[in-house]
Chains A and B, each alone.
Chain A
Amino acid sequence: MTNSDISSDNVILKVTNLVAGYQRVLPIVIDVSVEVVQGEILTLLGPNGAGKSTLIKGICGLVEVISGEVLFRGENISDLETHEIIARRVAYVPQTHNVFSKLTVAHNLDLGAISNFDAYQDRLSKVFDLFPDLKKFRDTSAGKLSGGQRQMLALGRALMANPILLLIDEPSAGLSPKLRDQVFQQVVQIRDSGVTVIIVEQNAYAALSVSDRGMILANGRLRLIANAVELLEDPKIAEIYFGARSTAEKS
Chain B
Amino acid sequence: MIQYVVDGLVNGSIIALGAVGLSITYNVLRFANFAQGEILAIGAYISMAFIVLMGVGIGSIGPVSFGWPLIASIILSVLVTSVVVLAIDWLLFRILRQRSASRITFIIAAFGLSLIVRNVITLIAGADQMFLSFYIPKAIPVLDNFKVVPDDVLILIITAICVVSLHTFLSITTVGKKMRAVAENPVLAMVNGINVKSVVRWSWIIGASLSAIAGTLHAHVTQLDPEMGFELILPMFAALIVGGVTNVYGAVLGGFLIGLTEAFAVAIDLSAYRGGIAFLIMIVVLILRPQGILGEKERDD
Contact = CB atoms under 8 A, between A and B. Distances in A.
Chains A and B in contact, CB within 8 Å: yes
Contacts of B180: 103
Contacts of B192: 86, 111-112, 114-115, 157, 161
Interface stretch (A11-19, A44-52, A89-97, A178-186): A89-97
B102 interface: no
A104 B181 CA distance: 12
A239 interface: no
A110 B177 contact: yes
A147 B51 CA distance: 59
B5 interface: no
> Interface SS of chain B: helix, strand, loop or mixed?
helix
B190 interface: yes
Number of contact residues on A: which range applies?
20 to 34
A158 B188 CA distance: 10
Contact of B177 (A87, A98, A111): A111
Contacts of A99: 188
Interface in A140-165: 157-158, 161
Contacts of B187: 62, 94, 97
Interface string B156-193: 00000000000000000010011011001101111111
B177 A83 contact: no
B222 interface: no
A94 B191 contact: yes
A129 interface: no
A168 to B, nearest CB: 11
A86 B185 contact: no
A94 B189 CA distance: 11
A27 to B, nearest CB: 17
A97 B301 contact: yes
Interface residues of B, number: 21
A236 to B, nearest CB: 37
B81 to A, nearest CB: 27
Nearest to B197: A81
A82 interface: yes
B117 to A, nearest CB: 31
B188 A114 contact: no
A248 B264 CA distance: 70
B296 interface: yes
Given A83-B193, A110-B177, A97 B188 contact: yes
B194 A60 contact: no
A99 B181 CA distance: 10
A83 B195 contact: yes
A86 B193 CA distance: 5
Contact of A111 (B181, B196, B197, B301): B181
A120 interface: no
Contacts of A91: 191
Given A97-B301, A98-B188, A103-B184, A115 B193 contact: yes
A112 B178 CA distance: 11
A102 B192 CA distance: 16
A93 B195 CA distance: 17
Interface string B49-83: 00000000000000000000000000000000000
6 closest A-B pairs by beta carbon, nearest first, are: A86-B193, A115-B193, A82-B190, A83-B195, A92-B191, A111-B192
8 contacts: A81-B195, A86-B191, A97-B185, A101-B184, A103-B184, A115-B193, A115-B194, A116-B193
Interface of A: 60, 62, 81-83, 86-87, 91-94, 97-103, 107, 110-112, 114-116, 157-158, 161
Given A81-B197, A102-B296, 12 more contacts: A83-B195, A87-B193, A94-B188, A94-B191, A100-B188, A101-B299, A110-B177, A111-B181, A111-B194, A114-B193, A114-B194, A115-B194
